[in-house]
């Protein structure tokens, strides 16, 4: 019978742990491209869940208590402003209802079938890593809430990213600014299409836009819906800089619309229902 | 070192990392709380404790971050061993020595992760050199402050204050 490893010797313990980690890394390095992740990662997240959730609640309560005291001072003025705002919004809603009725009438005349508004689940951000190699956040909703790998994630101002890993009640979201994230987009004003990629810092670049295409600083960039992941027409960001570039494509920098470094809650939409042969296609 | 004390230390480090990421994200990403814990354990000179603390703390950090699971685990296990080896040979007690050992550990951590990513052919853009340097500096400073707080004779101070109040 083989003798057990003498793990009480520091060097043997070190070598064993390093070898185990290296094997784990090697196994993931290939399979991760297909969305597979280590089971250990899931178990560690499950163990961390109560701590992360507790800390998040504690911090939010403390923050609310702090801002609540400060906000009391300007509450009366704020109240008056909000009443006015509510009145304006009410009028806006009435106008939009009228327009929606008109659109529905025209749709029925043309026989057009519009896509149903997606229902998502609201999730709280419990951890954000926006400075490391992989820009990601962890949210407190998982497969129990219908979230799966590939689910698009929206913030209050625009697109945030997509789910890359999910346990029963936690999900890891890859942010748009990550250097391996990309999304099919178009310019709202000119409908010119391209691919927005994270620059690995705090912004994005718009790739494959041919020289001469009409895009300028300030243009709004929306999802094109041609990547099979993100719903079309969602605001991705605003063009910061649009240079001509040296090659055949323009050099365009985009500022993400959502405040990716200070997210508190997000909306996770159901993953696009792609046919199995498309979803599992591997070149 | 006591296993339970290490377990509590790891949980506390994870809690501090989570709190920092929620409250002050800029600071949370520039202070490696887990590394401070590993260095504190390693200063005791117990290699096994330092290695195991590095392996567990690194694993937790990996599960919070989105990159390959095990990169931080590997790097921090190695750092635990290196720091404990140093502590056996050299007395790391002076604030400057603590700051330098922590700053060096941050650099070793970054180099180990970068090397592993290269070996495993992982694409992506990592933090800049300036970001690594600021992380090394702030982790070193935070380590010195925490070491000073840990050494402060809180109990004696509390006893003296209490005696003074009783007398008056």
A72-129 confidence digits (pLDDT tens): 767 878 888 888 888 888 888 888 888 888 888 787 777 665 555 557 889 999 888 8
CA geometry: angle B160, B164, B166, nearest 5 deg: 115
What element of type H or E holds A260? none
Question: pLDDT confidence of A281, banded at 50, 70, 90?
Answer: very low
pLDDT at B116: 92
Same domain, A86 and A209: no
Q: Is residue A124 part of a domain?
A: yes
Confidence at residue A3, expressed as pLDDT on a 0 to 100 scale: 60
pLDDT value at position A12?
Answer: 92
Q: Are residues A245 and A164 in the same domain?
A: yes
Q: What total number of domains does chain A contain? A: 2
Are residue A136 and residue A65 in the same domain, yes or no? no
- A128 and A267 assigned to the same domain: yes
pLDDT, residue A59, reads: 82
Q: Which residues of A touch B70 (CB under 8 A)?
A: 21-22, 24-25, 28, 38
What residue ranges of chain B have pLDDT lower than 70?
A: 1
Window 92-121 of A: residues touching B by CB (8 A cutoff) are none
Question: Which H or E element spans position B116?
Answer: helix B95-119
Q: What is the pLDDT of residue A100?
A: 84
Q: Of A18, A51, A263, which to mutate for an interface test with B (greatest number of B Cβ within 10 Å)?
A: A18
Across chain B, what does the average pLDDT equal? 89
Q: Inform me whether the pLDDT recorded for A131 exceeds 80.
A: no
Q: Are residues A72 and A123 in the same domain?
A: no
Distance separating alpha carbons of residues A248 and A251, to the nearest angstrom: 10
Q: What is the mean pLDDT of residues A210-225?
A: 91
pLDDT of residue A273: 67
- The answer to whether residue A1 scores a pLDDT higher than 90 is no
Nearest CA in chain A to B30: A131
**Which among A94, A110, A126 is the end of a domain?**
A110
Specify the long-range contacts of residues A15-24, CB closer than 8 Å, at least 24 apart.
A17/B51, A17/B52, A17/B55, A17/B73, A17/B77, A18/B74, A18/B77, A18/B78, A21/B55, A21/B70, A21/B73, A21/B74, A21/B77, A22/B70, A22/B74, A24/B69, A24/B70
Model confidence band, residue A227 (pLDDT cutoffs 50, 70, 90): confident
Q: Are A176 and A162 in contact (CB under 8 A)?
A: no
Could you say which residues from 261 to 280 on chain A have a Cβ atom under 8 Å away from some Cβ of chain B? 261-262
From B68's Cα to the closest Cα of chain A, the distance in A is 7
ipTM of model: 0.87
- Cβ proximity of B54 and B81 under 8 Å: yes
* CB nearest to A129's CB, from B64, B123, B126: B64
Query: Is A1 inside any structural domain?
Result: no
Residues A139 and A231 in one domain: yes
A247 with A144, same domain: the answer is yes
Position A54 in a domain: yes
Same domain, yes or no: A226 and A98:
no
pLDDT tens for A175-213 read: 999 988 999 999 999 999 999 999 888 899 999 999 888
Q: Is B125 helix (H, G, I), strand (E, B) or coil?
A: coil
Q: Is residue A55 part of a domain?
A: yes
Subunit contact B64:A138, Cβ cutoff 8 A: yes
pLDDT given for residue B151 in this prediction: 85
Q: Which of A110, A127, A152 is the last residue of a domain?
A: A110
Count the helix, strand and coil residues of chain A and give each as a percent rounded to the nearest 5: 35, 25, 40
Average pLDDT over residues A250-279: 82
Could you say which DSSP state residue A208 is in? Answer: S
What pLDDT was estimated at residue A282? 44
Provide the mean pLDDT of chain A: 83
Nearest to A213 by CA among A240, A174, A156, A251: A251
CATH number of B3-167: 1.10.1760
Q: Residue A4: inside a domain, yes or no?
A: no
State whether A130 and A237 are in the same domain.
Answer: yes
Give the range of the structural domain holding residue A260, as residue numbers without chain letter: 118-271
Examine the domain organization and report whether A49 and A128 are in the same domain: no
H-type alpha helices, chain A: 10-31, 39-73, 75-110, 276-279
Return the pLDDT at A283. Answer: 40
- Do the Cβ atoms of A29 and B131 come within 8 Å? no
Which CATH number goes with the domain that contains A162? 2.40.10.340
Domain limit, last residue, from A81, A110, A139: A110
Closest chain B residue to A18, measured at CA: B74
Same domain, A192 and A76: no
Q: Which of B34, B20, B9, B45 is nearest to B106 (CA)?
A: B34
What residues are paired with A174 via a beta bridge? A136, A162
pLDDT at A236: 94
Q: Same domain for A49 and A149? A: no
Please, are residues B39 and B93 in contact by the beta-carbon 8 Å criterion?
Answer: no
In a domain, A276, yes or no: no
> Out of A10, A18, A261, whose CB is closest to B25?
A261
Residue A35 lies in a domain: no
Which chain B residues are closer than 8 Å to A61 by Cβ?
none
């Amino acid at each position: 019978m083989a003798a057990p490893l003498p793990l009480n010797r520091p060097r043997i313990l070190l070598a064993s742990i390093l070898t185990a980690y290296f094997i784990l890394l090697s196994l993931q390095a290939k399979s991760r491209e297909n969305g597979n992740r280590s089971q250990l990662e899931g178990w560690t997240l499950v163990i961390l869940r109560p701590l992360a959730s507790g800390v998040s609640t504690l911090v939010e309560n403390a923050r609310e208590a702090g801002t609540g005291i400060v906000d009391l001072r300007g509450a009366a003025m704020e109240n008056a402003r909000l009443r006015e705002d509510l009145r304006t919004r009410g009028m806006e809603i009435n106008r939009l209802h009228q327009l929606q009725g008109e659109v529905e009438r025209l749709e029925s005349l043309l026989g057009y079938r519009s896509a149903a508004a997606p229902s998502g689940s609201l999730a709280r951000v419990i951890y954000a890593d926006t400075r490391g190699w992989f820009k990601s956040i962890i949210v407190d909703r998982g497969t129990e809430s219908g979230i799966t790998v590939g689910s698009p994630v929206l913030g209050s101002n625009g697109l945030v990213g997509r789910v890359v890993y999910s346990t029963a009640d936690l999900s890891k979201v890859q942010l748009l600014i990550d250097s391996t994230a990309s999304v099919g987009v178009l310019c709202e004003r000119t409908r010119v299409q391209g691919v927005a990629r994270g620059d690995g810092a705090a912004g994005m670049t718009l790739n494959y836009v041919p020289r001469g295409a009409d895009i300028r600083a300030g243009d709004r960039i929306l999802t094109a819906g041609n990547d099979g992941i993100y719903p079309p027409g969602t605001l991705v960001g605003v063009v910061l800089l649009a240079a001509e570039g040296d090659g055949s494509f323009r050099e365009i920098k985009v500022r993400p619309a959502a405040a990716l470094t200070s997210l508190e809650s997000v909306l996770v939409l159901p993953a696009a229902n792609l046919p199995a042969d498309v979803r599992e296609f591997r070149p | 070192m006591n296993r339970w004390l290490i377990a509590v230390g790891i949980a506390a480090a994870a809690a501090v990392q989570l709190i920092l990421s929620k409250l002050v994200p800029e600071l949370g990403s520039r202070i490696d709380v887990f590394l401070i814990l590993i260095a504190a354990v390693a200063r005791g000179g117990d290699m096994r404790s330092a290695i195991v603390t590095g392996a567990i703390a690194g694993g937790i950090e990996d599960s919070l971050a989105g990159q390959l699971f095990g990169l931080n685990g590997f790097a921090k296990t190695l750092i635990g061993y290196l720091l404990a080896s140093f502590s056996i040979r050299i007395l790391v007690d002076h604030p400057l020595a603590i700051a330098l050992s922590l700053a060096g550990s941050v650099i070793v951590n970054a180099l180990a992760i970068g090397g592993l990513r290269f070996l495993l052919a992982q694409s992506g853009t990592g933090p800049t050199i300036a970001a690594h340097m600021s992380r090394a500096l702030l982790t070193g400073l935070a380590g010195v402050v925490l070491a000073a707080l840990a050494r402060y004779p809180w109990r004696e101070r509390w006893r003296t204050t209490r005696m003074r109040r009783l007398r008056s």
